[in-house]
Amino acid sequence: MTRRLLVALSIVALAITALISLAAPAGAAAARSGSASGSASGGVSRDEAIRMLDQTRNSVDETLALIKAGDSERALAEARGGYLAHFELVEIPLRIADNGLTIDTENQFSYVRTAISDGAPLETVRDEIITLREMLDRAERKLTDAGIGGPAVVTTQSFLILFREGFEVVLLLSVLLGFLESARSPQYMKPILGGVALAAVATVITVLIMPTLFSLLPVSREVLEAVVALLAVAVLFYVSFWLIARLEQKRWMEFVRARLWSAVSVGSTASLVAVGFTAVYREGFETALFYQSLMSFGDGLGRFILLGIGLAVLALVVVAYLVFKVGRKLPVKTFMNTAVAMVMATSVAFLGNAVHTLQAADVITYRRTGGPRLPIFLAEATGIWPTAPSLVAQIVLTLVYVGGAVWVFAIRPKLAMARPTGPTGPAGRPRVNAATS
């Protein structure tokens, strides 16, 4: 059974590696094409165009603020002025990079102006501006090289998400299969592994249908992406915080063992399949949720998400071989502490992107800081945007994590050492005299 499991994992790894090899040349060709067009952009460099896009965004924000204040005349003037003074210069290099997007964005500016001049309701103008904001982001992606920072961060995030969840699955399977071996019940391994295989298939299906299911909800795409990201942050916080994670993981292990013992006692094949399925699909659903959030904020970096997945699968094949074939004990505590810290950083990035998306959807008002702005691919990977709400949210979550680390690793151990150890002992229990007992 172990050999079959390793072979299956190896096949998956090879398939994902093949996908990456097919995606990488296309991405490289696109990058070369973008670089070439940047040198022939008619006097306006891409860097200058990106700076003009920032000024265009400020003009769009001001237009929306004036509409909300009821000053449609000044809002129309601002919309016209922002387009003529800023975006017309962006069009020069953008037309070379993506002429279709240039035309669509021009039309969207005209839709905004028409809605204002026709006295359309606030919601109509607001929706047109939200669409325009998304087009401006797409334009910046077309004008920006992916660079190294953004792809490196996204690849690391993708790797950590799958490897951490997969590592927990390997540990859980080692416990389950070890229990069956110690109970001299190897005949029950096949149903358990069958449940694991079903959970793997269910996870893939969940990843594929989750975007469709979310699209059916009666909310805008931007709000939906923010909600999914906030859910991912909540789950990452819950499973990553040291004290909570350890207690929750212990309870989950005890629950699965109890179900396995019950299934073995009854000898029910269906119960054993269910044990294998529930043990793995829980991690699979979390993984699907995390990747849904990562993909929604990784436009233009999809091949690097695939790269992280491929590397994680290969690493899990090695871990599974060491655990199941060699029987080697791994430094679980060291790895989990390292992975937790990295996953916490990922949750901070997700939170920044979620708040930024809520601002783009006008659920939260934009409050730009005016400070330096990261390249868009790096900003999407880290969630660091020059807006006050997103930065404050990230700082607060980071402080919570830091406070938790100080409590768990510094304050709590000192309190435990400072407890009095008088005649009643450290926990208030009567001390037993070894000489008289």
Q: What is the pLDDT of residues 17-39, one digit of tens each?
A: 443 333 333 343 444 344 444 44
Q: Which candidate, 86, 82, 93, 101, places its Cα nearest to that of 47?
A: 93
pLDDT at position 139 over 80: yes
pLDDT at position 436 over 50: no
Report residue 323's pLDDT band, with 50, 70 and 90 as the boundaries. confident
Q: Please tell me the distance from the alpha carbon of residue 198 to that of residue 274, in angstroms, as a whole number.
A: 9
DSSP-H helix ranges across 241-363 = 242-266, 269-296, 302-320, 332-360
Fold designation for 40-143: Four Helix Bundle (Hemerythrin (Met), subunit A) (1.20.120)
Predicted pLDDT at 432: 44
Average pLDDT over every residue of 168-188: 75
Q: How many helices (H) and strands (E) does the chain have?
A: 16, 0
Predicted pLDDT at 435: 41
User: pLDDT higher for 146 or 409?
Assistant: 146
Q: Is the Cβ–Cβ distance between 354 and 396 less than 8 Å?
A: no
Percent of residues, the chain, with pLDDT higher than 90: 40
Average pLDDT score over the chain: 80
Cα torsion for 162, 163, 165, 170, to the nearest 10°? 130
Predicted pLDDT at 258: 66
Predicted pLDDT at 28: 39
Predicted pLDDT at 104: 96
| pLDDT tens sequence across 208-240 | 888 888 778 777 888 888 988 999 999 888 776
Average pLDDT over every residue of 140-155: 92
Report residue 87's pLDDT band, with 50, 70 and 90 as the boundaries. very high
Average pLDDT over every residue of 258-287: 75
Q: Is the Cβ–Cβ distance between 313 and 204 less than 8 Å?
A: no
Predicted pLDDT at 328: 58
Average pLDDT over every residue of 182-191: 73
Report residue 412's pLDDT band, with 50, 70 and 90 as the boundaries. confident
pTM more than 0.85: no
All structural domains of the chain with their residue ranges = 2-26+146-345, 40-143
Predicted pLDDT at 16: 42
Predicted pLDDT at 174: 79
Average pLDDT over every residue of 425-434: 47
Predicted pLDDT at 93: 93
Predicted pLDDT at 411: 85
Average pLDDT over every residue of 54-73: 94
The radius of gyration of the chain's CA atoms, rounded to the nearest angstrom, is: 27
| pLDDT tens sequence across 359-375 | 999 999 888 887 788 99
Predicted pLDDT at 44: 79
Which residue is associated with the tokens 């149903």?
A: 191
Neighbour-count burial of 195, counting CB atoms closer than 10 A to its CB (0-12 exposed, 13-18 middle, 19+ buried): buried
